[in-house]
Structure 1
Amino acid sequence: MAEAHQAVAFQFTVTPEGFDFHLGREALRQLYLSGVYSWKKRFVCAKNSFLSGVYPASPSSWVVVVMATAGSFYCRIDPSMGMIARIRHYLPGSRFLSLQGRTVVSAALFSTGVWLSAVLLFRRTLKLLLSYHGWMFEPHGRMSRSTKIWAALVKVLSGRKPLLYSFQTSLPKLPVPPVEATIARYLESVHPLMDEEKYQRMEALAKEFKEKTAPRLQKYLIFKSWWTTNYVSDWWEEYIYLRGRSPLMVNSNYYAMDLLYVTPSRVQAARAGNAVHAMLLYRRKLDRGELPPVMALGMVPMCSNQMERMFNTTRVPGKESDALLHLLNSRHLAVYHKGRFYKVWLFHGGSLLRPRDLQMQFQRILDDPSPPQPGEQRLAALTAGERVPWAEARARFFGCGRNKTSLDAVERAAFFLTLDEEAHGYAPDKADCMDTYAKSLLHGKCYDRWFDKSFTLVVYKNGKLGANAEHSWADAPIIGHLWEFVLGTDRFQLGYDDGGHCHGEPNTQLAPPQRLQWDIPQECQDIIERSYRVAKALADDVDFCCFQFSQFGKGLIKRCRTSPDAFIQISLQLAHFRDKGCFCLTYEASMTRLFREGRTETVRSCTAESTAFVRSMGDTRQSRAERQRLFKLAANKHQHMYRMAMTGAGIDRHLFCLYVVSRYLGVQSPFLAQPAGAVRALAPLHQPDPPAAAQDVRLEQVPGPHLHRRRLRPGR
């Protein structure tokens, strides 16, 4: 209770003798320091927003323009050709402003106009330059003269030391491909999967769609592209993610692993302290826009829009559609341990808690012997099960009182932390160590991760780390940037002492973590149990085999002058054909972040070239040279398709948006209703499940510094 009283700025009570009003000086000091920190943060954010807004120019360039204009004007050289005199003429007269002063103001206004015009011109020119993607299709190491000129212009106009969002307004919009090109590429992608009779029927449907239905749908789509930043991303987020009613766990959420061979500290609380502090440092850089933008080839910027919702974000369930709750700031962390929930403040005196202070707070949670409250232990199973029961339970049982307060503490936290009771990681003496490690990060016990949070940081008993991320707010590479920063900062900047503890001395005056209180009735506990059973059945249905392959890596593949991605995709086609004896639709994601607010596009990896190579591997009459030739053709085709997808000339996102427009207009299209089309895109719009033969194989790469894995599962 002493710590609780210290956290109160004043106490106001009524006694028989009158009113008792008491001020807490320390609490007031903390409030003052927090306010100072808040205003400093606002000032830095405003400054960096201004710098990003005028990039590639800078305030110093404005000063140079003003001084040059004023200097030339006073040398009786009028660079404005009379504009400064006109501005001076229209300035209101004032006894406080002499003729000379009005001339200075007029020169400053003219210079500012010229400077802003130059900024807009540079940004418009840069946008036009970034719309060129020919560099991506040129042979590696052989850049054409036109591309060299383009690269030089991009470097000149890109400026120096850009901030995270400096290029946002200079990025081009995602183009709407011509319907004819999309349909041609679509027919090419399904040809290897069909016999001639089925293909001719599909070709007839495509021709009818192209001539009768598509022109009307395309007009609406082009109109949408004019007044929206990205014609795909908002519908993709809503219909593919937020309207999905199936469990997020396994189906949507993905995970990231720790370093395999290195564990900087075996002390669970210490590792959590450093990792959380590193994440807060990253959040501060993110809020201020101080992170450098991701650049392809070191000069082509990628969209940073997805990074905005990395922290302070939660997916809130709804009966028909979920919603993303994003806060500008959050000053606390939600922690789960042994069935109990805690709220941990991340600031003290307006400053971030140091790693040693965080370690002390987490150790207090680990040492807490109190048992879970009724219904508390498996409460998070609601986020692991179906979305509709969770939405109904949230509305009925978490709308007021202690439950609402505690749920707000979880949903409004910066992120979620699980202090896991198990020990996982790579162990040479355990054959299935990687399987259990991966399954734990993917779904855990089905109630010890808050799957609705933007991400859950998992710290195991032996000090190993991991993360489970929700998918709707961003794609895996965004978490990958954070994860690399955290692991690098933890190991090389923050470090540990000889005992494995965080450096420094803890502040023992900090108030302990706040235990969240719940009042969960039996009816709600029954709903929690049902959600848990659904999630448990889903988790038990996951067969996971995760192993290390150390014979060779991407270095050897590159030395063979082959794309590692193409090599893996063609290998998967070969393995699937040998296992199943047939080919199927294959989904590989590529990014479209070369465009503003771009997310992903589908690469249909099963091509005529890849199937020809796969069949040659089973044909004893084919020579080694012929197989190599077919493999080269398949790899080149895959790389070409990947580049087409990255540059906005994919198939599935365009078909998806045409389908959405058709639903809005009430237009029926036999072509868009075909299950062999964009199965992945259409299923979340409540279409009937496609036949088993038409289901796709979805190939996903999950981020991790030393481990990448591919998951094959039927398309939803």
Structure 2
Amino acid sequence: MSNQVIKTFSNQYKLPRLPIPSLEESTTKYLNSLKPLLSFEEFEYTKQHVKDFIKPGGLGQKLHQRLIDIDRISPYNWLDDTWWIKKAYLEWRAPVIINSNWYLLLIDDPNTPEEYFTNNNEICLKGQFSKWQIKRAAHLIEKMLEYKNLIDTESIPPDITRTYPLCMHQYTRCYGITRIPKLNCDELIYTPHPAPAKHILVIIKDQFYILNGYDKDGQRYTDGDIEIQLHQIVDDVLKVQLDPPIGVLTADDQTLTLIENALFIINLDDYSTGMGFDKFSQNMFHGLNAHNRWFDKAMSIAIENNGRAAMNGEHSPCDALIPSIIFQWIGLEPTLPNASVSGRSIISPKRIRFTINEQTLKDIFEAQKRIDPIIVDSDIVILQFSEYGIQFIKKIAKCSPDAYIQMVLQLAYFKTHQKVVPTYETGSTRQFLHGRTDTIRTLSLESKAFVEGMENKSLTVQQKYNLLQAATKAHSIYSQDVSNGKGCDRYLLGLKLLLQKDESHPIFTETIFIKSQEWILSTSGLNSGDKLNGTGFGCVYPNGYGINYLSGEYLLKFGIESKYSSSETDSNAFKQNIINALKDMKDICEQINSNYEKEDRL
């Protein structure tokens, strides 16, 4: 048997193109998703609009044919090539901070000296940098460069499922990618893969430095070599006159391109937020005041002066799943207390200086005024639930883990607000060339019956369990359809965008079309997150929640974000009701399918 490694991009030519689903199937799926939101009379009214839309010779048929024509001229993918990145991200005029960016909290390094784990240690005072912080930063930089080398040399096996390979294109959209704000529509700047840059941008006390990841011969520096450079940067920044916080502008809508080619960013914070997760996640999401960050870069890693680290990412180049895979890999090896030095000539870091005038200072001031309320309004909490994980869900609940977690969120929302709402879950279409995502509409008649049934004291445990099974099965079917390119949301978006100036139809203008896409619950699951302490992103609507989760074998982690300004939402209350839902569902599953044996963990 051959031990030859399959190259990273070897399956790309085998991948099918993203299909165009049928008009009838898509509109049926859309109609079914409306049933939990409409009365019988309202549903019948909308049903007639859909019937007219899809009739032979009707507008739906014409738009469908136009979409086929778009597909024929698209090099790779009718959605990604034509609309998606622009419509979903680059044309969105809200600041990327909180509204679009995501974060991933790395686990604490097992080699962290014990004194760094105390909240009031003297070596991590505000305004200082620590030796351990620099060591860990150097290690993370070297591992990030090592992973880039694995991508560039195609040494990573391609991602696959049990039945099909997955597109690896997004791995080429992680390093050296920068979003450039422009009028009306932003732009992504990147060089051809592999990204040729050899440097990393280090931001420290709002100052900018170029750190070289490779020597003059192109050889990658060791942890120890990078550590020397970081010490040089810290020594320099402590004695120079500091420039104003230019990075604040990237949280707003300004244009700066000097750092666009850097492979990624390292943010060294001269403070720590303690050992809890809520304050830590806030710092890693927005820098507390948007300082010492550059939010337009595809990947940035911030390290507090106690050594805790996290990644912040700009969402448009790739979905957070891919950086989470990279970050998981980065966390596999702990930092060495005594990293080796190669002995090669080390290129000294170089500080970047900006030409700053009165207008620049005014822009920074105005940007800060716009950003501060966004930061203050963000209500972020982290939940780590350790009573059970996907082992229990599979063995005792006998459900799809992701469908089960989605029902947990449905039940938690119902417990909090006594109603159901449109719910978005990210569904992957990576089995297709350049595939990214489509919408899994979690809210269904089955999920509504389940949450109402769980709160109905007159139902038996068996009846409640049956409702859970029906809801998770319905969700799994919808999820599989989306994965197979048969979701309705991206398809309907394509049809709507192909309307000509003199064309319209009630299906696109009636209230329910918009209302059914108001994702009060915006959710997404990543990987098991064994090397991650948490993850999160912002809510889509001011009266909603943004929830990202990591489903481990025995540990479930949720990042929850809402707005303090909303009288309807409360992240801590929702967190508590996730716990309540997890426990209630565990109880009925154990009663039906016997107790969960702790020995199963062994």
For this structure pair, what is the TM-score category when the shorter chain's length is used for normalisation? 0.7 to 0.9
1:296 is displaced (CA, Å) by 0.8
Equivalent in 46, 55, 58 of residue 202 of structure 1? 46
1:665 is displaced (CA, Å) by 5.5
Contact 2:324 2:526 in 1 (8 A): no
Equivalent in 64, 72, 77 of residue 226 of structure 1? 72
The equivalent of 1:67 in structure 2 is none
Contact 1:652 1:678 in 2 (8 A): no
SS at match of 1:450: coil
The equivalent of 2:393 in structure 1 is 557
1:653 matches 2:490: yes
Question: Distance in 2 between the 1:680 and 1:593 partners?
Answer: 25
1:440 is displaced (CA, Å) by 1.1
Question: Which amino acid in structure 2 is aligned with residue 292 of structure 1?
Answer: P
1:503 is displaced (CA, Å) by 2.5
Question: Distance in 2 between the 1:665 and 1:307 partners?
Answer: 38
The equivalent of 1:117 in structure 2 is none
For structure 1, which segment, 302-311 or 547-556, has the greater mean C-alpha deviation from structure 2 after superposition? 547-556
SS at match of 2:48: helix
Equivalent in 331, 349, 360 of residue 513 of structure 1? 349
Question: Distance in 1 between the 2:538 and 2:516 partners?
Answer: 13
Question: Distance in 2 between the 1:244 and 1:336 partners?
Answer: 27
Contact 1:258 1:465 in 2 (8 A): yes
Question: Distance in 2 between the 1:657 and 1:602 partners?
Answer: 14
The equivalent of 2:369 in structure 1 is 533
1:633/1:347 CA distance change after superposition, 3 Å: same
1:466/1:706 CA distance change after superposition, 3 Å: closer
Question: Distance in 1 between the 2:502 and 2:187 partners?
Answer: 26
The equivalent of 1:381 in structure 2 is 248
1:564/1:272 CA distance change after superposition, 3 Å: same
Equivalent in 358, 363, 375 of residue 522 of structure 1? 358
Question: Distance in 1 between the 2:357 and 2:234 partners?
Answer: 27
1:311/1:675 CA distance change after superposition, 3 Å: farther
The equivalent of 2:239 in structure 1 is 370
Question: Distance in 2 between the 1:221 and 1:182 partners?
Answer: 14
Contact 2:105 2:310 in 1 (8 A): yes
The equivalent of 1:412 in structure 2 is 261
Question: Distance in 2 between the 1:666 and 1:418 partners?
Answer: 51
Structure 2: segments with no counterpart, 5+ residues: 117-131, 543-602
The equivalent of 1:293 in structure 2 is 158
Question: Distance in 2 between the 1:166 and 1:677 partners?
Answer: 41
The equivalent of 2:378 in structure 1 is 542
- Listed one character per residue, the Cα deviations across residues 527-572 of structure 1 (whole Å, up to 9, x for unaligned) are 1111122222111111112132111111111112111211111111
The equivalent of 1:280 in structure 2 is 145
Question: Which amino acid in structure 2 is aligned with residue 170 of structure 1?
Answer: K
Contact 1:332 1:413 in 2 (8 A): yes
Equivalent in 197, 200, 207 of residue 333 of structure 1? 200
1:666/1:479 CA distance change after superposition, 3 Å: farther
- Listed one character per residue, the Cα deviations across residues 673-715 of structure 1 (whole Å, up to 9, x for unaligned) are 345336697xxxxxxxxxxxx5532113466434445667344
1:232/1:577 CA distance change after superposition, 3 Å: same
1:464/1:556 CA distance change after superposition, 3 Å: same
SS at match of 1:240: helix
For structure 1, which segment, 263-272 or 281-290, has the greater mean C-alpha deviation from structure 2 after superposition? 263-272
Question: Distance in 2 between the 1:710 and 1:459 partners?
Answer: 17
Equivalent in 285, 307, 326 of residue 442 of structure 1? 285
The equivalent of 1:102 in structure 2 is none
Q: TM-score, normalised by structure 1?
A: 0.68
SS at match of 1:347: coil
Question: Which amino acid in structure 2 is aligned with residue 657 of structure 1?
Answer: G
1:582 is displaced (CA, Å) by 1.4
The equivalent of 2:539 in structure 1 is 713
The equivalent of 1:312 in structure 2 is 176
SS at match of 1:244: coil
Contact 1:602 1:653 in 2 (8 A): yes
Question: Which amino acid in structure 2 is aligned with residue 210 of structure 1?
Answer: I
Question: Which amino acid in structure 2 is aligned with residue 451 of structure 1?
Answer: F
1:422 matches 2:266: no
1:710/1:440 CA distance change after superposition, 3 Å: closer
Structure 1: segments with no counterpart, 5+ residues: 1-155, 395-406, 428-432, 682-693
- Listed one character per residue, the Cα deviations across residues 315-349 of structure 1 (whole Å, up to 9, x for unaligned) are 11110111111123101111111121111122213
Question: Which amino acid in structure 1 is aligned with residue 315 of structure 2?
Answer: H
1:515 is displaced (CA, Å) by 1.3
- After superposition, the CA RMSD in angstroms is 2.3
Contact 1:702 1:708 in 2 (8 A): no
Matches within 5 A, 1:603-682: 603-662=440-499, 666-677=502-513
The equivalent of 1:17 in structure 2 is none
Taking only the aligned residue pairs, the percentage that are identical comes to 27
1:638/1:248 CA distance change after superposition, 3 Å: same
Matches within 5 A, 1:396-407: 407=257
1:195/1:318 CA distance change after superposition, 3 Å: same
Contact 1:164 1:292 in 2 (8 A): yes
SS at match of 1:411: coil
Question: Distance in 2 between the 1:583 and 1:281 partners?
Answer: 46
The equivalent of 1:252 in structure 2 is 100
Contact 2:102 2:536 in 1 (8 A): no
Matches within 5 A, 1:139-154: none
Question: Distance in 1 between the 2:220 and 2:511 partners?
Answer: 53
Question: Distance in 1 between the 2:538 and 2:45 partners?
Answer: 29
For structure 1, which segment, 195-204 or 352-361, has the greater mean C-alpha deviation from structure 2 after superposition? 195-204
Question: Which amino acid in structure 2 is aligned with residue 439 of structure 1?
Answer: Q
SS at match of 2:430: coil
Equivalent in 512, 521, 529 of residue 697 of structure 1? 521
Question: Distance in 2 between the 1:261 and 1:517 partners?
Answer: 33
Question: Which amino acid in structure 2 is aligned with residue 514 of structure 1?
Answer: K
1:616 is displaced (CA, Å) by 1.1
The equivalent of 2:89 in structure 1 is 241
Question: Distance in 1 between the 2:362 and 2:160 partners?
Answer: 50
Contact 1:698 1:711 in 2 (8 A): no
Question: Distance in 2 between the 1:695 and 1:352 partners?
Answer: 45
For structure 1, which segment, 465-474 or 520-529, has the greater mean C-alpha deviation from structure 2 after superposition? 520-529
Question: Distance in 1 between the 2:516 and 2:347 partners?
Answer: 49
Matches within 5 A, 1:13-412: 161-211=5-55, 212-228=58-74, 229-234=76-81, 235-260=83-108, 262-264=110-112, 267-297=132-162, 300-327=164-191, 328-350=195-217, 351-368=219-236, 369-375=238-244, 378-385=245-252, 387=253, 390-391=254-255, 394=256, 407-408=257-258, 410-412=259-261
1:506/1:339 CA distance change after superposition, 3 Å: farther
Question: Distance in 2 between the 1:577 and 1:342 partners?
Answer: 49
Question: Distance in 1 between the 2:322 and 2:368 partners?
Answer: 29
Question: Distance in 2 between the 1:710 and 1:285 partners?
Answer: 27
SS at match of 2:385: coil
Question: Which amino acid in structure 2 is aligned with residue 473 of structure 1?
Answer: P
Question: Which amino acid in structure 1 is aligned with residue 453 of structure 2?
Answer: S
SS at match of 1:348: coil
Ranked by relative contact order (alpha carbons within 8 Å, sequence separation 6 or more), the top structure is 2
Question: Distance in 2 between the 1:257 and 1:630 partners?
Answer: 35
Contact 2:101 2:537 in 1 (8 A): no
1:447/1:236 CA distance change after superposition, 3 Å: same
1:381 is displaced (CA, Å) by 1.1
The equivalent of 1:31 in structure 2 is none
1:539/1:337 CA distance change after superposition, 3 Å: same
Contact 1:164 1:290 in 2 (8 A): yes
Contact 1:243 1:321 in 2 (8 A): yes
The equivalent of 2:427 in structure 1 is 590
Question: Distance in 2 between the 1:708 and 1:678 partners?
Answer: 32
